[in-house]
Structure 1
Amino acid sequence: MEKKEITILLFCLFLVMIGYGLTLPILPFLVEQSAKSNGFLNISPALHVGLMTGIFPLMQFLSAPFWGRWSDRIGRSPVLAAGMGGYALSLILFGWTGDLVLLYMLRVGGGLFSASVLPTVNSWVTDLSPVTNRGKVLAWTGGSASLGVIFGPVLSSFFIDVNWFAGWSWKLLAANTYTVPFIIAGGFSVLALIAVLLWLSDASSQSESNSYQQSNLGFLSITKGEILPILIYALIAQGALSMFESTFALHAQQTLGYSVLEMGFIFMTCGLGMSISQVGLTGFLIDWWGEERLLPIGYLLIGLALFLLMFVNTFILIIVVVSILAVGMALVTPSLASLTSKISEQRVGERMGLLASISSLGLAAGSFLGAGLYSLNIHLPYFLCSSVVLIIFFYMIRRHQNQEVSL
Structure 2
Amino acid sequence: MSKKKAVLVILLSNIFIAFLGIGLIIPVMPLFMNVMHLTGSTMGYLVAAFAVAQLIASPIAGRWVDRYGRKIMIVSGLFLFALSELVFGLGTHVYVLYVARLLGGISAAFIMPAVTAYVADITTVQERSKAMGYVSAAISTGFIIGPGIGGFIAEYGVRLPFFFAAGIAFIAVISSMFMLKEPLTKEERAKQMNEVKESTFFKDLKKSIHPSYLIAFIIVFVLAFGLSAYETVFSLFTIISLDLVQKILP
Normalised to the residue count of structure 1, the TM-score between the two structures is 0.54
Residue of structure 1 in register with 2:16 after alignment: 14
How many angstroms does 1:154 deviate by? 2.1
In structure 2, the CA distance between the partners of 1:31 and 1:119, relative to structure 1 (3 Å rule), is farther
CA distance in 2, matches of 1:210, 1:152: 40
Higher helix share: 2
Do structure 1's residue 242 and structure 2's residue 228 form an aligned pair? yes
1:181 to 151, 154, 161: 161
How many angstroms does 1:65 deviate by? 1.4
In structure 2, the CA distance between the partners of 1:221 and 1:46, relative to structure 1 (3 Å rule), is closer
User: Within 5 A, what are the aligned runs for 1:121-140?
Assistant: 121-140=115-134
- Note the residue ranges of structure 2 that are not aligned, 5 or more in a row: none
Do structure 1's residue 218 and structure 2's residue 204 form an aligned pair? no
Q: Secondary structure at the match of 1:116?
A: helix
Q: Do the aligned residues in 1 keep the contact of 2:29 with 2:235 (CA within 8 Å)?
A: no
What is the RMSD computed on CA atoms of the aligned residues? 2.4
Instruction: Tell which structure's C-alpha radius of gyration is larger.
Output: 1
Q: Do the aligned residues in 1 keep the contact of 2:67 with 2:190 (CA within 8 Å)?
A: no
User: Within 5 A, what are the aligned runs for 1:75-224?
Assistant: 75-162=69-156, 177-200=157-180, 202-205=181-184, 208-209=189-190, 211-213=192-194, 214=196, 216-222=198-204, 223-224=206-207
State percent identity of aligned pairs.
27
Normalised to the residue count of structure 2, the TM-score between the two structures is 0.85
In structure 2, the CA distance between the partners of 1:245 and 1:217, relative to structure 1 (3 Å rule), is closer
Q: Do the aligned residues in 1 keep the contact of 2:118 with 2:183 (CA within 8 Å)?
A: no
2:35 to 10, 33, 38: 33
Q: How many matched pairs?
A: 238
In structure 2, the CA distance between the partners of 1:129 and 1:249, relative to structure 1 (3 Å rule), is same
Q: Do the aligned residues in 1 keep the contact of 2:32 with 2:158 (CA within 8 Å)?
A: yes
Residue of structure 1 in register with 2:6 after alignment: 4
The Cα offsets for residues 78-104 of structure 1, whole Å up to 9 and x where unpaired, read as: 111111111101211211233222212
- Note the residue ranges of structure 1 that are not aligned, 5 or more in a row: 37-44, 163-176, 263-407
CA distance in 2, matches of 1:58, 1:90: 15
In structure 2, the CA distance between the partners of 1:34 and 1:188, relative to structure 1 (3 Å rule), is same
In structure 2, the CA distance between the partners of 1:250 and 1:157, relative to structure 1 (3 Å rule), is closer
How many angstroms does 1:228 deviate by? 4.3
Q: Secondary structure at the match of 1:245?
A: helix
How many angstroms does 1:146 deviate by? 1.8
